[in-house]
Amino acid sequence: MVSESVESLCARARRAIAQGEHEEARQIYLQGLGVKADSPDVHYGLATVCFLIGELQNAVYHFKEVTRLDPQRAGAFINLGAVYNRLDQVDEAIQVLRRGIQLDTHRAEGYYNLGLAYRRKKQIDLAIQAYQEAVRLNPEMSDAHLNLANAYLDKGQYGLAVIHYQHAIDLRPAWDKAVSGMEQAEAALEAIKHGSAVASAAAKVAREHAQERSTATAVQDPNRTVDPIVHTGILSGLHRATIESETQGKALHQLLEKELEPILKELSCSLLQTDSSPHELNECLIKFETALRAMKNLQQGLTLATQKVRNLGDQLVHS
């Protein structure tokens, strides 16, 4: 009896996979191994079936056999990297994915899986570069747009995140993950806009106080003379109050711009991210409340210092 050829067996197995008959496909591929144990095509097919049914370690074994038997097959390295990602063996994934990309620089899925691995290692800049190459090679890869947007969200580059969330939604309308990410990015942009408005308002207040201080120190009768000896106490106090007012104004401006704005952004992201723990949220709230108390104290100090400048200016004018 003439045995069925490897090519025929592989063709039957692929048809079984297309019909969702994964166990049948595996049995056919195993027959293929009996015919030709060193067939990279049979090992590739078995690896694919094992991956589909969740037998990841077996998938690793057979993909590695393909890379041994056919070391120029880029797809085997790339798929092996994808399985390593599933197993959270990130360093192994990066190594074989780089090899796969070297063999075929036009495989978008290679860059996509490399991006997944880098993001797991918290190497966000490298992940972004990999995802960017994936969407350049295949602009229709919705998963790559989604993960690129997620990486931009991690980096706080919310405008770019919005762009790629929108690409993902355009490709897969009403995709929950993309819609949720879009909402987070847009909310973060609004929080930043609000924080910038607060900082601008603080700068305006500081400028107005500085202008009032300047006016208070400049108002005097042009026909009278300020005697440095007679008025030494008032002049010294006015000088100290002016410096104090300026210091308080600068401190308030810096607090709003350098501390409160980042805290608002962090709090906004923590509130919007569903995986934030209560401990993380509580820490954000504590920092926010601390910053608000500091802002209130600085505002009070600025008001007192400015009032002191006015009072001393009045004393100098009427003395």
What is the spatial distance between Cα 35 and Cα 41, in angstroms, rounded to a whole number? 12
Cβ atoms of 130 and 114 closer than 8 Å: yes
Cβ atoms of 28 and 43 closer than 8 Å: no
Backbone φ, ψ for residue 277 (5° rounding): -85, 155
Cβ atoms of 248 and 302 closer than 8 Å: yes
What pLDDT is stored for residue 259 in this prediction? Answer: 73
- At 249, the amino acid letter reads G
CA angle 150, 154, 158 (to 5 degrees): 75
Q: How buried is 37 (Cβ within 10 angstroms: 0-12 exposed, 13-18 middle, 19+ buried)?
A: exposed
Cβ atoms of 115 and 148 closer than 8 Å: yes
Helical H segments across 70-173, by residue range: 74-86, 90-103, 108-120, 124-137, 142-155, 158-171
* pLDDT tens digits, 48-58: 999 999 999 99
Q: 3-state class of 26 per DSSP?
A: helix
pTM score, two decimals?
0.61
Q: Kindly state the percentage of the chain with pLDDT values over 90.
A: 56
Residue 302, pLDDT above cutoff 70 = yes
Torsion of CA 102, 148, 60, 44, to 10 degrees: -60
Residue 274, pLDDT above cutoff 70 = no
Identify the sign of the CA torsion 182, 183, 186, 189.
negative
Helix/strand/coil percentages in the chain, nearest 5: 80, 0, 20
Question: Token match 């570069």: residue?
Answer: 129
In this predicted model, which residue has the larger pLDDT, 127 or 278? 127
* pLDDT tens digits, 68-102: 999 999 999 999 999 999 999 999 999 999 999 99
What tokens were used for 33? 């191994």
